[in-house]
Amino acid sequence: MAVDSFSEFVLEQLSSLPGLRARRMFGGQGLYAGEVFFGILYRGQLYFKTHPDTLADYLACGAVVFAPSEKQVLRNYREVPAEILEDGERLRLWAEKAAQP
């Protein structure tokens, strides 16, 4: 999937999230639910913010940390596993958890 079509796909899947918007950052797009920054679209990958109660789910799937360069590593953001991306309902649930303040 091309990067633009991937972004469109993700935004469509998450369109029912209140206040969903995307803003350019990190050479990709930051995802917001209202004022809460909860995700990153970068080079055809989706990363969600993790919390102490959600990190185990990402670790169980082997989700990698968002690290666009050696000097820029955001350990609280992990790649969303493919099996979650392919399931719209589960993707929305993971997004809702990531968007918790």
Residues of the domain holding 47:
3-98
How many domains would you assign to the chain?
A: 1
Residues of the chain with pLDDT > 70: what percent? 97
Closest C-alpha to 77, from 86, 66, 68, 85: 66
Give the residue with greater pLDDT, 25 vs 20: 20
Tell me the C-alpha distance between 3 and 41, whole Å.
9
Query: CA distances (Å), 53 to each of 28, 57, 58, 100, in order?
Result: 27, 9, 10, 11
What CATH number did the domain enclosing 69 receive? 3.30.1460.30
pLDDT computed for residue 1 by the predictor: 45
- Helix ranges (H only) for the chain are 3-13, 55-60, 82-85, 88-98
0.85 surpassed by pTM: yes
Query: CA distances (Å), 92 to each of 70, 72, 97, in order?
Result: 30, 27, 9
What integer is the mean pLDDT of 1-17? Answer: 85
